[in-house]
A = this chain, B = another copy of it.
Amino acid sequence: MMSTRLTGAFAPAVTPFKPDLSPDLERFATHCHWLQQQGAGLAVFGTNSEANSLTVSERVMLLDHLIGQGLDASRILPGTGCCALPDTVELSHQATLHGCAGVLMLPPFFYKGVSDDGLFDYYTEVIERVAMDNLRVFLYHIPAFSGVPISLNLIERLASRFPQQIAGVKDSSGDWANLEAMLTSFPQLSIFPASESLLSRALPLGAAGCISATININPAAISAMCANWRAPDAAKAQASLDTIRQIIQKYPMIAALKWTIAHYRDDQQWQRQRPPLRALSEQQQSELQALLSAAGFAMPGLEAS
């Protein structure tokens, strides 16, 4: 089982918007091409993609466009978890038809305090309604946003009931003890922490890589760390990743990522977000620019994409 697990660094690719706030298909594909060229996989429609600000039909259109533009579906892991069961089924079905590596599935996140039995019912309904052998589900544990945790007990029950379809977990809890428990309890699954800062601790315990916001701007170095964590200079590489992440984390994440892309592409269109999210203030932009410059940050290969 281990050798067929999905591994690597997957970027929750940020989603550009046009002046009318519609998704910008062209810039999205350009960014995703660059990420794949730099060695990263694509966890499109993640939290940092503003996925939950997109309609179902917008997500369908964006994924169709990426596939049409020749992106490698076997390295795409779209977010498909919505509040409404039929929406989750539709998006998961589309991704699986396209041959995507899997789907990253939020639990339904409006109703709080729901039982593991209820969540088990929900995931069961989705898997049975998609009804495709090549569906691979990655459960998405992000309690600070969803308010609906994915417990170890729920993972255990779902992995036992659907050993073929339940392929992994993204742990965005930021709780090391929880990540360690997942890694220990489910060696057959691909467990992805949500930050590259955990790689040097998590990869030796069997983590599959990471799905991290900052892969949007630092894809080559983070991907290399996932592959080369046993190398002699790994500690130095980890420190270098941490430096960039700590700078970005001083600001609202999506706004900071979009500013960085806008700046290094010299394309201010990239800064736009859908309400209720907002771009960085002028002062934040200046500060961030100074910090990244001082750290010697660069985004190589943009001209080629």
Contacts and interface: CB of A to CB of B under 8 A. Distances in A.
Contacts of A278: 115, 117-118, 121
Interface stretch (A24-32, A47-55, A68-76, A211-219): A47-55
Contacts of A125: 21, 275
A287 interface: no
A109 B53 CA distance: 10
Nearest to A147: B147
A275 B55 contact: no
Contact of A277 (B47, B54, B114): B114
Interface size class of A (residues with CB under 8 A): 35 or more
Interface string A117-160: 11101101100000000000000000011111000000000000
Nearest to A84: B55
Interface in A253-305: 274-278
A176 interface: no
Given A122-B276, A145-B110, A276-B121, A53 B115 contact: no
Given A21-B85, A85-B21, A125-B21, A111 B54 contact: no
Contact of A86 (B55, B111, B118): B55
B84 A115 contact: no
Interface in A76-120: 83-87, 107-112, 114-115, 117-119
Contacts of A145: 110-112
Contacts of A87: 55
A64 interface: no
Contacts of A147: 147
Contacts of A109: 110
Most buried by B among A84, A108, A119, A145: A84
Going nearest first, the 10 A-B pairs with the smallest beta carbon separation are: A118-B276, A52-B110, A122-B275, A121-B275, A114-B276, A122-B276, A52-B83, A55-B84, A119-B276, A118-B278
B275 A85 contact: yes
Contacts of A108: 52-53, 275-276
A111 B255 CA distance: 13
A237 interface: no
Contact of A85 (B53, B112, B115, B118): B53
B52 A118 contact: no
Contacts of A110: 47, 52-53, 109, 145-146
Contacts of A117: 278
Contacts of A112: 144-145
Interface in A216-268: none
B84 A277 contact: no
Contact of A275 (B21, B118, B274, B277): B118
